Amino acid sequence: MFKRAVSKRVWGLCACAVITATAAVAQDPPANTGNQADNLNARIHRQLERISHGVKSGALNADQANKLKASVQSLQNQVAAKRQPDGTLKKEDLTLFENLFNQNSNMIHSMVGSGERKADSGAAVGPAWAPGKDGAQNSQKLLKEMKIENKREVRQERQAIEQKLEQQQLDYEHQMIPELANQRKSIMNGKQQLKDIRKEQNAN
């Protein structure tokens, strides 16, 4: 009897513990009452990883990789400079950086893609070359495939250059906006001083 009572008590305690733990897991996580956290640091990490992968795969040379890394690090420094004391970004700054990181991601993708080469198929000239039914390779088909591949490479290189120029334009605009604001303030101060001088001359 005593053993049965103890056993029932132990099973009862275990059941209560399981129910309590299940209820705790089922609860919703606490709501984020502050500003929404951004994922820019994660994007920086992913873009640097893609660049490193491009170098390892041979799709990027050292010069290309260094330029892409410099672009990512420049954005990283700009983000750090714009973060508020609580670590968040203003809405307009976050929107701007999201666009810049999108442009940077497209540029990395294009440059890595343009450096990659498709594996030779069985119809290509080489160790796996196999003659056609007439004993010769189809030269017209080979020429057509070469033209298509060449057009693809030219298109990807052009896209990479266009995206790089667009990135440079965005960086320039981002740097010039504060300078133009300062120049406008200086001009307005000069106009006010001129008005004050004219008032003094008219009073005399």
Q: Return the pLDDT at 37.
A: 65
Report pLDDT digits (tens) over 131-183: 554 444 566 777 788 888 888 888 888 888 888 888 888 888 777 787 787 78
Contact 95, 38 (CB under 8 A): no
**How many Å apart are CA 136 and CA 182, to the nearest integer?**
72
List the chain domain ranges.
40-112+138-204
Q: What is the C-alpha to C-alpha distance for residues 48 and 171, in angstroms, rounded to an integer? A: 19
Percent of the chain with pLDDT over 70: 69
pLDDT tens figures, 67-92 = 999 999 999 999 999 999 999 999 99
Give the DSSP letter string of 74-142: HHHHHHHHH--TTS---HHHHHHHHHHHHHHHHHHHHHHHHH--PPPPTTSSSTT----TTSS--HHHH
- For 99-115, what is each residue's pLDDT tens digit? 999 999 999 988 888 77
Question: How much is the pTM?
Answer: 0.43
Return all residues near 166 (Cβ < 8 A) that are at least 6 apart.
103
